[in-house]
Structure 1
Amino acid sequence: MHNDLVAALDIGGTKIAGALVGGGGEILRRCRRPTPAREDGATVMAAVRAVLDDLAADAPLWERVIRLGIGSAGPVDASTGVVSPVNVPGWRDFPLVDEVGLAVGALPVVLVGDGVAMTAAEHWLGAARGRANALCMVVSTGVGGGLVLGGRLHPGPTGNAGHIGHISVDLDGDPCPCGSRGCVERIASGPNIARRALENGWRPGPEGDATAAAVARAARAGDPVASASFERAARALAAGIAATAALVEIETAVIGGGVAGAGEVLFAPLRRALSDYATLSFVRGLEVVPARMGADAGLVGAAAAAQAFSGAVGARPPASSV
C-alpha cells in the first residue's frame, strides 16, 4: 500500500541513526544518538532502543510501519541475525535482530551489512540506478561494499557479499586488523591515507588537522607527499575493483563515503590506475562514478533491503507467525 512505511536503522561506530522511510525513499522522520562504542553490549543496545523509541513517539507515522531494516557495521551474519562490528567491541556475536525484535513486536526485521545497505540505496535511487551489475563502495574510516548482480541486490548468505575492503592487493603489505595482509582497507581507508602521508613526511597545517580530508586539501594544493598517498589509495581501490569485475562482470563501480569527498584528488588517479588493472576485454568498459545518496544512504538502503528481503532467509518473521 502506498501509505506503508519502513523503519530503518543505520548502526555504526560513531552514530546510531533511525528513520521512517516512505515508498519513494523519502525520509519522514529521523533521529540519531551517539554510539557508546566503548561500553558493554547492553549499553549499546539501550542506545538502539532509544532511537526506536524516538521513532515510535510519532504514533500516527509509526502505525504505518510494516517492517524494519537494519544496516549495521560488520561483520554481520544475516542468516542468524547476529553482528560483531569491529568498531563496537561490546558487540561480539550479538543477537541484534532478536533484541530489536523484542523492541518492535510483530514487525519483521531484516539485517544487512552497511555496505550492502549503501548499495541498495544507490541502486534504488542513486548512481547505480538502472544498472544490472554494479559494485558500490563506502570508502571512509573503513572500506566496505556491496553488489548488484543481474539487476538485484546480492547480499550473499550472511549479508557480506561485496566486502571489497578485505581483498588483499599487496601480498607483502602491512598486516590488517582483520588478520590478513595488504587489504584494500589497510591502504585506502581515510585513516590509512593519513597514516601513510604522515609516515612519509607530510605535516598538518597550523590547525593540526591530520585527517584524510586535510591530506586531500594538501594534495589539491600540490603537496607531492599528500598526492602520493592518494595515488597509492587509488591504485589499491583500482586493483580491488578490477578483481571484482573479472569475477562477476560488473559494469559500474560507485564510490561514496568521506574519502570520496576528495573528488578528483581520488577519482583522477583511480581512473588512471583502473586502466592498468582492468585490461581484459570484458572489463575495459568499466566506469567509476561518485555515489549520489550521501549521508542518507545507510537509512534509505536499510529500508530498501527490508523491502527486498522481508520473508527471505535471514529475516526475522513477525512474532505472531513464530
Structure 2
Amino acid sequence: MTKTPQLALAVDVGGTKVETALVRADATLVEGTRHRRPTGAGSDADQLAASVAEAIRATLAEAERAHGITATDLVGAGVGSAGPIDLDRGAVSPINLHAWRGYPLADLVAETSGLQTTLRLDGTCILLAELWAGALQGRRNAMGMIVSTGIGGGLILEGKLIAGRTGNAGHIGQVQIRTHEQAGRDLSVTLEGVASGTATVAFARSLGWTGDRGEDLARDYAEGDARAVAAVERCADAIGEAIASVCALVDLEAVAIGGGFSRVTPDLFELIRSRIDEVAPFPTICGVEVVPSALSDEGPLIGAAGLVHRADLLP
C-alpha cells in the first residue's frame, strides 16, 4: 500500500480573501485543494469566520473526494494572517479587517479542521516560503515582503527567523515613512498607507485617473498614462525608502517581494532598486538584492504550510 505523503493544511487570511490548500512536504500544493472565500473590510466578524470555515471545509472535502485524503492523514494546520497578531492567545486584529479585534483565529481553524494549529504573521509566512523553497534559499540576513491589499513582511537575521515579543516582528507595512501632519495615530504615513495596492489605486484616482483596480492601473501604466505612472513611481519610491531604512538598521543581504500588486509592472523592481541607491544613507546599503518572489501567488500558502513542515525554522 502506498503511504500518504506528509501533508499540511495551509490557511492564508488577508484583507480581501482567505485561501486554503493542502501542501506537501516538498512545498507543492495538492491539485484541486486550493479554495478561496472573500473577506474584506465591510465584513462583520461572523462573515469573516464563516469564510475561513467554508474555505477549510471546501479544501478538506475536495481532498477526500479527489484524493481519498482525510483530516486524519494531515500532520497539522498552519495559518498566516494579516496583523497584528497575538501569539500567546492565537488571536488576530488585522488592520484591514475591522470586525476582528483579538479574534481567536487559531481556535477557529483548529475547531473546523480538527488539527493542531500554528499561527504566525502573514509576513513571517511569506519569508518562510522564500527561505524554504523560493528566492531566499541559503540567505542568513533577509526580508520577505508581500505587497497587495496591504503590505507585510518577515525577517531572518543571522540565520534565525525573528518573531519578536508578540509575533509581529518584520511588519514593514507599518513602518512610518512620512511625517505626521496631525496628532495621534495616522496610518496614511505608513508604508502600507502610501504604497499598498489599495493606497496606490486611491492616489491615482486623486490625480483624476478613473480606473478601479490594480489590474486597471497595470494596463494604463503599460500604456504610459501619466497618472498611472506617477502612482506606481510613488509606490516604488516608498518601498525603496522603507527597505533602505530597514537595511540601515539590520544590514540585509536580500529582499524578496511577492503579492499581487508587486506584479503591477516588471519595472517596479528596477524603480525600487533605483530609489534605494538614491536615498541610502550609506553606501553598503546599495548592495542589497531586491528580487521578485520565486513562488508566484502560491507563496503565502506554502509559507503557512511551512509552519508545520518547517517548524525547525521557527523561533
Task: Measure how far apart 1:103 and its partner are.
Answer: 2.9
- Aligned twin of 1:119: 127
Q: Which secondary structure does the structure 2 equivalent of 1:121 belong to?
A: helix
Change (3 A) 1:181 1:54: closer
- How far the C-alpha of 1:9 sits from its partner, in A, is 0.7
Bigger drift between 85-94 and 304-313 goes to: 304-313
Deviations 1:179-204 (A, max 9, x none): 34521112111222222223234x34
The 8 Å contact of residues 173 and 181 in structure 1, kept in 2 or not, is answered as no
CA contact (8 A) 2:18 2:39 kept: no
1:211, 1:309 → 2: CA distance? 37
- Alpha carbons 1:73, 1:85 under 8 Å: kept: yes
Question: Would the aligned equivalents of 1:85 and 1:92 in 2 still touch at CA under 8 Å?
Answer: yes
Q: Secondary structure at the match of 2:204?
A: helix
Pick the structure with more helix per residue: 2
Aligned counterpart in structure 2 of residue 166 of structure 1, from 160, 174, 177: 174
> Does residue 101 of structure 1 match 2:104?
no
Map 1:268-307 → 2, pairs under 5 A: 268-307=270-309
Q: Over aligned residue pairs, what C-alpha RMSD do you find? A: 2.7
Q: What TM-score results when the alignment is normalised by the length of structure 1?
A: 0.85
- Per the TM alignment, residue 61 of structure 1 is displaced from its structure 2 partner at its CA by 4.6
Question: Could you tell me the TM-score, scaled by structure 2's length?
Answer: 0.87
Which of 53, 58, 63 in structure 1 is aligned with 2:57? 53
CA distance in structure 2 between the partners assigned to 1:196 and 1:111 by the alignment: 33
2:226 counterpart of 1:224: yes
Q: Secondary structure at the match of 1:27?
A: coil
Unaligned runs of 5+ in 1: 314-322
Q: Does 1:132 align with 2:140?
A: yes
SS at match of 2:275: helix
From 182, 189, 198, the counterpart of 1:182: 189
Report if aligned partners of 1:18, 1:55 keep a CA contact under 8 Å in 2: yes
In the TM superposition, what is the alpha-carbon distance from 1:172 to its structure 2 partner?
A: 4.3
Superposed counterparts of 1:177-256, under 5 Å: 179-201=186-208, 203-204=209-210, 209-256=211-258
Per-residue deviation, residues 91-116 of structure 1 (Å, max 9, x unmatched): 221111123223334x3211011121
Please say if residues 207 and 227 of structure 2, whose CA atoms lie closer than 8 Å, have aligned partners that are also in contact. Answer: yes
Contiguous gaps of at least 5 residues in structure 2: none
| 2:86 match | 77
Which deviations, in whole Å up to 9, do the C-alpha atoms of 1:35-78 show, x marking residues without a partner? 35444323432332233333333153532211110011222112
In structure 2, C-alpha distance between the alignment counterparts of 1:276 and 1:173, rounded to whole Å? 25
Q: CA 1:282 to 1:75, structure 2 compared with 1: closer, same or farther past 3 Å?
A: same
Q: Establish whether residue 23 from structure 1 lines up as the match of residue 25 from structure 2.
A: yes
User: Residue 35 of structure 1 aligns with which residue?
Assistant: 38
Aligned residues: 306
Kept in 2: contact 1:83–1:94 (CA 8 A): yes
Could you list the per-position Cα deviations for residues 160-180 of structure 1 after superposition, in whole angstroms to 9, with x for gaps in the alignment? 21111111111146999x634
Aligned amino acid, residue 27 of structure 2: G
CA distance 1:194–1:180, shift in 2 (3 Å): closer
CA distance in 2, matches of 1:50, 1:229: 36
Q: Which amino acid aligns with 2:228?
A: A
Write the distance in 2 (CA, Å) between the matches of 1:214 and 1:36: 22
Q: Could you tell me whether the CA contact under 8 Å between 1:174 and 1:182 is conserved in 2? A: no
Contact 2:161 2:313 in 1 (8 A): no
What is the distance in 1 between the residues matched to 2:123 and 2:156?
12
CA spacing shift, 1:145–1:75, aligned 2, 3 Å: same
Q: Is the 8 A contact 1:216 1:227 kept in 2?
A: no
1:36/1:260 Cα in 2 relative to 1: closer, same or farther (>3 Å)?
closer
How far apart, CA to CA, are the structure 2 residues paired with 1:143 and 1:169? 13
**1:274/1:51 Cα in 2 relative to 1: closer, same or farther (>3 Å)?**
same
